[in-house]
């Protein structure tokens, strides 16, 4: 496992990455700066520099490693690259701490995360479990497998642990309940990729009465490792990896780190193992609060829903830039003044509402709604798949004027993404 001092990360990024060279052009070269002197990364220009060819983020050519897709529409794909050593370090760290997250020797573990199309979660969890110090047997099933195959595999091998996104296990639970299937003895559900809400937990405990529900940990393909869970962690709580990354919770108004417990801000991460595609003071897309004092080892923090970088609806990631990209395709039909995304959770599922503010209300709203939804499906086909499987609610569209959009009462700024799941 290989990590580096922050000054080494900064020096290499500034010297070899065109994006960071420009971002850090005013940073002192003598190394007398502190982390607060380093400019915060902004997601939009960060990802604009992330091109398949002539990538401005990378410090070297791709020649030995692994590449994943990190959300985005087909018209605006986002990619994350890891060298082989960086990937091994990441999965080794996660595996090491996963051993303290309730996994037991002899557990039979089904990996039900998604695989293929450059998704990272399935491969990441498989590699993590292989490097975990606890001796277990892993079954690489995949969440995209038919429900009958998954259930038969769980029964045939008496699998007692599953790794999954909540939407996958919720669908399986409904299938098991509807078909009155017996002979399944799940002891632990490890979920990741999205929040497991209280109504979902209660429903799962009815179907699997003795099951324990735990977070698999906190990570993303773009930011890498963000936090691990242990027995002390409550709902949406994780601990930072002291020797692997630096977690900051930043005040949105001042741009300064928040140190006190309980004050909400945006979560930023600096990764100490990635040199190929550096992640430095990067907004991970969530709001959070510290729940332990600064002096605590592996300081604990809590996630409080999505910030304005991107929406997570069930297992689907959808960025505000993706929404703008789709609306731009309709600029001849409608005159958009502004837009907003709203995420809600009811009946065990997430729901996305697209709010479109226009100068003049269109006459053919029904046809426009259908055209926008179909364009969204074409650009982000996972939406159509997950809605078709009943894992998330159908997308809603609301037509408004600008005054009806919600703003930040303190600053007067538009709230681009409103996450009502934690209200």
Question: Which pLDDT does position 166 carry in this prediction?
Answer: 86
Question: Which pLDDT does position 306 carry in this prediction?
Answer: 73
Single out the residue of 315, 7, 10 nearest to residue 143, CA to CA: 315
Furthest CA-CA distance within the chain: 68
Residues 218 and 235: beta-carbon distance below 8 Å: no
Rounded distance, CA 313 to CA 347, Å? 14
Average pLDDT, 10 consecutive residues per value, the chain (423 residues): 91 95 88 90 89 89 90 69 95 90 95 88 94 95 91 96 90 89 94 83 91 94 92 92 94 92 95 96 93 95 79 84 87 87 91 91 92 93 91 94 78 76 72
- Could you give the 3-state DSSP secondary structure of residue 354? strand
Rounded distance, CA 89 to CA 276, Å? 13
Total number of residues shown for the chain: 423
Handedness of CA 257, 259, 264, 266 (dihedral sign): positive
Phi, psi of 397 (to 5 degrees): -125, 130
Q: What domains lie within the chain, and their CATH numbers?
A: 6-87+218-306 (3.40.50.12780), 102-215 (3.40.50.980), 310-422 (3.30.300.30)
Question: Which pLDDT does position 74 carry in this prediction?
Answer: 55
Rounded distance, CA 244 to CA 221, Å? 15
Question: Which pLDDT does position 43 carry in this prediction?
Answer: 85
Indicate the pTM of the whole model: 0.80
Q: What is the DSSP letter of 393?
A: P
């Amino acid at each position: 496992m290989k990590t580096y001092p922050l000054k080494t990360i900064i020096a290499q990024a500034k010297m070899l990455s065109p994006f960071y060279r420009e971002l850090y052009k005013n940073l002192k070269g003598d190394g007398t700066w502190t982390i607060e002197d380093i400019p915060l990364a902004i997601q939009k220009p960060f990802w604009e520099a992330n091109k398949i060819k002539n990538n401005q983020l990378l410090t070297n050519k791709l020649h030995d490693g692994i590449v994943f897709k990190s959300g985005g529409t087909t018209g605006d794909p986002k990619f994350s690259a890891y060298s082989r050593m960086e990937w091994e370090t990441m999965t080794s760290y996660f595996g090491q701490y996963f051993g303290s997250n309730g996994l037991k020797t002899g557990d039979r573990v089904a990996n039900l995360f998604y695989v293929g199309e450059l998704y990272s979660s399935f491969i990441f969890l498989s590699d993590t479990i292989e490097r975990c110090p606890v001796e277990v047997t892993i079954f690489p099933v995949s969440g995209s497998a038919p429900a009958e195959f998954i259930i038969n595999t769980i029964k045939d091998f008496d699998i007692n642990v599953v790794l999954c996104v909540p939407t996958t296990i919720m669908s399986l639970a409904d299938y098991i309940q509807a078909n009155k299937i017996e002979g399944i003895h799940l002891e632990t559900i490890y979920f990741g990729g999205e929040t497991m809400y209280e109504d979902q937990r209660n429903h799962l405990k009815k179907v699997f009465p003795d099951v324990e529900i735990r977070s698999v940990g906190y990570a993303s393909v773009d930011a890498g490792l963000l936090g691990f869970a242990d027995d002390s962690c409550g709902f949406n709580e994780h601990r930072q990896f002291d020797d692997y990354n630096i977690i900051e919770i930043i005040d949105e108004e001042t741009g300064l780190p928040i140190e006190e417990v309980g004050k909400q801000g945006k979560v930023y991460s600096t990764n100490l193992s990635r040199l190929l595609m550096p992640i430095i003071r990067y907004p991970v897309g969530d709001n959070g609060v510290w729940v332990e004092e600064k002096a605590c080892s592996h300081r604990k923090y809590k996630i409080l829903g999505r910030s304005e970088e991107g929406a997570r609806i069930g297992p689907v990631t959808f960025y505000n830039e993706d929404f703008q990209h789709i609306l731009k395709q309709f600029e001849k039909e409608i005159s958009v003044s502004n837009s907003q995304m709203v995420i809600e959770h009811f009946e065990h599922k997430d729901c996305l509402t697209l709010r479109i503010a226009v100068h003049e209300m269109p006459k053919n709203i029904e046809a426009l709604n259908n055209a926008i939804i179909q364009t969204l499906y074409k650009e982000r086909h996972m939406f159509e798949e997950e809605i078709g499987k009943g894992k998330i609610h159908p997308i809603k569209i609301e037509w408004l004027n600008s005054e009806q959009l919600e703003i930040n009462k303190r600053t007067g700024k538009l709230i681009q993404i409103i996450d009502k799941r934690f209200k």
